[in-house]
């Protein structure tokens, strides 16, 4: 009844641990297949995977980006439910059964998220709002970090403790348990988003179609976060900024789009620099400006219609 899609890129042992958490939990009666789409990893993450009859591999000969790779996996899904899962997650024994039971009992919910926790068992932010030009400005100027309840973040809900269950605008792509019928009615990810904001874009399309996303705090899984991109911070930033402006161009008015462009270029890099200077994270300053250099010279001109 469940297909799992995992997009991996140089995930190392994180991917192995993720797969082991799935197959070691005795989910064979509800699990149809685990589809791993590897974006041309250069490490041993694929070779180190445990053998399992329900494991299917798609090996790309280049990095196709998260959205396109996820779509490759989605097209292989044949079950009633599809779980999009990050390789830096680990499921608990009851994660899948609890998701299945909840969705079977709540036909009004189309996408389900669970509480993602860190090593100490504390909940991590995993739900987001749909951004606006104003909230992008709050975030770029650092106002969301100083007073998130007054100046709500553009996306990730840092002003909420994720301790209660509720309907939300968007569930992080690290864990999206969805009805597979959505892939027919709403469609697949927009492949213009190489990585970042493809899940925000999907949530926007869900919202426009009247579909509902629900965060269930009683269902839990473990998540490291940024596990596969922690070593490429500047490159990660350039990709984030590119996708941010891609989203703004797709959904905002011309005024809203250009306002977001200006705040991204004229406010955000200086806010980031001041924050890292204030917190003594001096190496992050170099990564920030390197990321903006990559954004401007290689990625910033790839905003597509």
Q: What is the CATH number of the domain that holds 194?
A: 3.90.550.10
Q: Which domain holds residue 43?
A: 2-126+162-223
> pLDDT tens-digit profile of 62-72?
999 999 999 99
The pLDDT of residue 230: 52
The pLDDT of residue 26: 78
Q: Are residues 204 and 292 in the same domain?
A: no
Q: Across the chain, what does the average pLDDT equal? A: 93
Q: Are residues 256 and 122 in the same domain?
A: no
Q: Are residues 207 and 237 in the same domain?
A: no
Q: Which of 223, 253, 270 is the last residue of a domain?
A: 223
Does residue 260 lie in a domain region?
yes
Q: Report DSSP state, residue 64.
A: -
Q: Which of 178, 201, 223 is the last residue of a domain?
A: 223
Q: Are residues 66 and 30 in the same domain?
A: yes
Show the tokens assigned to 159.
């002003």
Q: Are residues 268 and 196 in the same domain?
A: no
Does residue 67 lie in a domain region?
yes
Please give the tally of structural domains in the chain.
2
Does residue 13 lie in a domain region?
yes
At residue 236, φ and ψ (nearest 5 deg) are -60, -45
Confidence of residue 24 (pLDDT cuts 50, 70, 90): confident
Q: Are residues 71 and 204 in the same domain?
A: yes
Does residue 297 lie in a domain region?
yes
Q: Indicate the range of 99-108, 167-176, 233-242, 291-300 predicted with least confidence.
A: 291-300
Q: Are residues 93 and 201 in the same domain?
A: yes
Does residue 134 lie in a domain region?
no
> pLDDT tens-digit profile of 237-248?
999 999 999 999
Position 302 pLDDT exceeds 70: no
Q: Are residues 171 and 248 in the same domain?
A: no
**Residue 7: enclosing H or E segment and its boundaries?**
strand 2-8
Position 96 pLDDT exceeds 80: yes
Q: Are residues 90 and 199 in the same domain?
A: yes
Instruction: Let me know: does 91 contact 22? Beta carbons within 8 Å.
Output: yes
Q: Are residues 214 and 239 in the same domain?
A: no
pTM: 0.93
Degrees, nearest 5: CA angle 64-140-148: 110
Does residue 206 lie in a domain region?
yes
The pLDDT of residue 231: 58
From the list 228, 238, 193, 185, the residue with the least C-alpha distance to 67 is 193
């Amino acid at each position: 009844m469940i297909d799992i899609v995992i997009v991996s890129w140089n995930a190392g042992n994180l991917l192995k641990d993720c797969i082991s958490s799935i197959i070691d939990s005795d989910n064979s009666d509800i699990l149809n297949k685990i589809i791993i789409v590897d974006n041309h990893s250069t490490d041993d993450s694929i070779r180190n995977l445990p053998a399992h009859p329900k494991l299917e591999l798609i090996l790309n000969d280049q990095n196709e980006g998260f959205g396109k790779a996820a779509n490759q996996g989605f097209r292989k899904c044949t079950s009633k439910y599809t779980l999009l899962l990050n390789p830096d997650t680990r499921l608990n024994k009851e994660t899948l059964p609890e998701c299945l039971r909840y969705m079977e009992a709540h036909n009004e919910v189309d996408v389900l998220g669970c509480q993602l926790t860190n090593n100490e068992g504390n909940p991590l932010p995993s739900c987001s709002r749909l951004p606006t030009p104003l909230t992008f400005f709050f975030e770029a100027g650092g106002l969301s970090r100083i007073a998130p309840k007054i100046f709500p973040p553009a996306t990730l809900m840092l002003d909420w403790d994720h301790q209660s269950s509720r309907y939300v605008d968007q569930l992080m792509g690290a864990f999206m348990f969805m009805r597979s019928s959505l892939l027919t009615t709403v469609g697949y990810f927009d492949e213009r988003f190489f990585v970042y904001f493809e899940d925000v874009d999907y949530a926007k399309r869900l919202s426009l179609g009247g579909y509902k996303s629900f965060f269930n705090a009683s269902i839990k899984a473990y998540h490291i976060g940024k596990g596969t991109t922690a070593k490429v911070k500047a490159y990660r930033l350039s990709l984030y900024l590119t996708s941010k402006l891609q989203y703004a161009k797709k959904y905002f008015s011309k005024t809203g789009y250009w306002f977001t462009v200006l705040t991204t270029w004229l406010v955000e890099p200086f806010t980031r620099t001041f924050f890292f200077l204030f917190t003594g994270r001096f190496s992050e300053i170099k990564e920030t400006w390197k990321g903006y250099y990559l954004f401007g010279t290689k990625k910033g001109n790839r905003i597509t219609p």
